[in-house]
Structure 1
Amino acid sequence: MLAKGQAVIQCMEQLAPKHAAEPDDRIGLQLGTLQKDIKHVMIALDVTEEVVDEAVKTGVDLIIAHHAIIYRPLKGLQTDTPMGKVYEKLIKSDIAVYISHTNLDITEGGMNDWMAEALGIENTVSVQDVHQESLFKLVVFVPKSHHQEVLDAVLNAGAGHLGQYSHCSFNMDGFGTFMPQEGSEPFIGQQGSLERVNEVRLETIVPKGIQKKVVQAMLKAHPYEEAAYDLYPLEQKGRTLGLGRVGELREPVTLKQLAETVKQNLDVPHVRVVGNPDTLLKKAAVIGGSGGKFMHAAMFRGADVLVTGDIDYHTALDAVAAGLCIIDPGHNAEKIMKEKVALWLADQLQAHRYDTLVSASKVNTEPFTFM
């Protein structure tokens, strides 16, 4: 069975929920439709003409990319312009394009965690906190005979996390009353007869990002035609989400040694380095993309070095003056996300027994040639 486009995106948004994105970030469906069967999903860093040609050749229906193809409002759509040709190929080939950008950067287990792991950065926290996850209290009333089934369903869907504890819930016995009306098909009782049933009040915590998933799991497991449940917004907050990661290096290394690790593990041919190559580093920060503006935040977190792309001349001078080392592998180092997302999404779709194929684009979209 093939997954519908919306089912693919529901899986993707479990990894990178839309609410985690920075304000005004251009994410989500940018071209095409999700109202179709998806035979083949391709994960890409950028959507260039070469990437689209690859997608057409391999029978792709949906591209999930990190960088938006429509970033500024379009004043027109002329197919004789470079990007106009790209849009035309996508539309004629019925290929949809979905963007997951800062929400993939920020999320736990996303871009910046992958980059930190690749560089041996451990015990990480965000370089700069962005927001805290909203929490809800789910309360549902379940007949005692199906209590364990519904409890397992909501906890397995991701509810019930409090700090370092999982599977947290509260369960209290009681009784519920209801009278099935004409047209109903009650699981218990008969139309027109007041019923009194032994039930369990089940309570648990649900993060906003998985609220829909948890409620769907609960309703699927619940035996009643009309399940009685409530969702209450909570004053307390969940996880703090932020941009970049900073932590201790697995072992102290020199700036030159870390630069070599960056080249090898992020698969880049060259890096630009700010600082004395012999400087000993113990704590490092990494930010995918262009992270120069977070230089002071990285220093505040105690970083000896910042690994990020697109460092400009004046930021480099400021770093020298402040005593912060910088390694710039370029923006294209974010291509680490292609294989990571492809493997994650393929596992999710397989778990749902979908036959949809997921692959990573093999096109190198690095625009610079190093002479």
Structure 2
Amino acid sequence: MFAKGQTVIQLMEKLAPRHYAVPDDRIGLQLGTLNKEIRKVMVTLDVVEEVVDEAISEQVDLIIAHHAIIFRPLKHLQTDTPAGRVYAKLIKHDIAVYIAHTNLDVADGGINDMMADALKLENTKPLDTVFTEKLKKLVVFVPQDHHERVLMAMLDNGAGAIGDYSHCSFNLSGVGTFKPGEGTNPYIGATGKFEEVLEIRIETIVPESLQGKVIQAMLKAHPYEEPAYDLYPLDLSGRKLGLGRVGRLPQSISLAELAEQVKKAFDVPAVRIVGEPGTMLNKAAVLGGSGSRYIGSALFAGADVLITGDVDYHSAQDALAAGLCIIDPGHNSEKIMKAGVAAYLTKALADGRYDTEVTTSQINTEVFRFL
């Protein structure tokens, strides 16, 4: 059985939820339809004409890319222009294009985590926070004989996470009262009779993004026809997610040595560096794409080096003056997302028992050449 397009995207958005994207980012379905079976998905960094030709040759139904193919509003759709040819080929061969950009940058397990993991950074945190998870307090009243079942149903579905601790809850015994009305089928007691039951009040924390999932699990595990529960908004902040990552290097290393590791980890032929090659480094920040704007964030986080692409001349001067080294492997280093996203989707589809195949583009979309 092949997955529908909407199913593939639902799985993709579990990895990179849409609401993680920065305002006005061009994400989501940009061309084609998801209302069809998807036999093959291709993951790519860029959607250029060579990649589209590859997708046609491979009989791909859906392209998932990081960089948008429609970044600015279209004034025309002339098919004799470079962009027009790309759109025409995609439409003619019924290939849909879905974009995951800053939402994939921000996400746990997204591009920046892939880059940090490739360099074995330890104890990583977001370099620049753009999203803070809202928390809620869930309170539910459960008869004693179903306490553990309902509690674990909630906790195993994501409730009760506080910092690095999971399965956190508070449980208090008390007496619940109710009177079943006509037409009811009470788990405890009889219709029309006032009842007093020993119950346990369960309190736990729920991230807003998991609210529906946790409540659904609680209701499924609860024995009552009409479970009593409350949901309160909290002023407390949950997980902080953001662009880039900063963490400790496994061991002290020179700028020159780390530059060689970056070339290998990100499969690039050359890098630009800012700083003396012999400078010893202990803490690194990494950010996929263009990172000139995040030099201040890297300094504030205590990083010795910022690994990012497309650093301009004057920003590099400012970093050098402030004592921050830079390794610039280019914007195309984000191609690390191809293997990472493909591996995630392959497993997610297999877990759903779908036969949809996931592949990665083999086209090198780097626009610069090194002589």
TM-score bracket relative to the smaller structure:
0.7 to 0.9
* Counterpart Cα distance in 1 of 2:330 and 2:194: 67
- Matched with 1:49 is 49
Report if aligned partners of 1:171, 1:201 keep a CA contact under 8 Å in 2: yes
- Matched with 1:24 is 24
Report if aligned partners of 1:14, 1:209 keep a CA contact under 8 Å in 2: no
- Matched with 2:339 is 339
Deviations 1:73-104 (A, max 9, x none): 22232222222222222223332222211122
* Counterpart Cα distance in 2 of 1:229 and 1:55: 50
C-alpha displacement at 1:131, in angstroms?
3.1
* Structure 2: gaps spanning 5 or more residues: none
* Counterpart Cα distance in 1 of 2:298 and 2:157: 35
1:1-371 matched pairs, under 5 angstroms: 1-140=1-140, 148-171=148-171, 175=176, 177=178, 201-219=201-219, 221=221, 229-371=229-371
Deviates more, 1:217-226 or 1:155-164: 217-226
Report if aligned partners of 2:179, 2:191 keep a CA contact under 8 Å in 1: no
Number of equivalent positions = 369
- State the secondary structure of the residue aligned to 1:211: helix
Q: Cα RMSD (Å) of the superposition? A: 2.8
Taking structure 1 as reference, are residues 210 and 257 closer, same or farther at Cα in structure 2, changes over 3 Å only? same
Report if aligned partners of 1:64, 1:100 keep a CA contact under 8 Å in 2: yes
Deviates more, 1:323-332 or 1:345-354: 345-354
Q: TM-score, normalised by structure 2?
A: 0.87
Identity of aligned residues (%): 62
* Counterpart Cα distance in 2 of 1:15 and 1:90: 25
- State the secondary structure of the residue aligned to 2:113: helix
Report if aligned partners of 1:137, 1:231 keep a CA contact under 8 Å in 2: yes
C-alpha displacement at 1:55, in angstroms?
2.3
Report if aligned partners of 2:288, 2:334 keep a CA contact under 8 Å in 1: yes
C-alpha displacement at 1:291, in angstroms?
0.4
Q: TM-score, normalised by structure 1?
A: 0.87
* Counterpart Cα distance in 1 of 2:302 and 2:176: 56
* Counterpart Cα distance in 2 of 1:96 and 1:343: 20
* Counterpart Cα distance in 2 of 1:100 and 1:306: 24
Q: Quick one: which amino acid aligns to residue 274 of structure 1?
A: V
* Counterpart Cα distance in 2 of 1:163 and 1:25: 29
- State the secondary structure of the residue aligned to 2:114: helix
Report if aligned partners of 2:159, 2:204 keep a CA contact under 8 Å in 1: yes
C-alpha displacement at 1:155, in angstroms?
2.7
C-alpha displacement at 1:258, in angstroms?
0.8
Deviations 1:209-247 (A, max 9, x none): 333443444455556676665443221110112221122
C-alpha displacement at 1:202, in angstroms?
4.2
C-alpha displacement at 1:278, in angstroms?
1.6
Deviates more, 1:233-242 or 1:38-47: 38-47
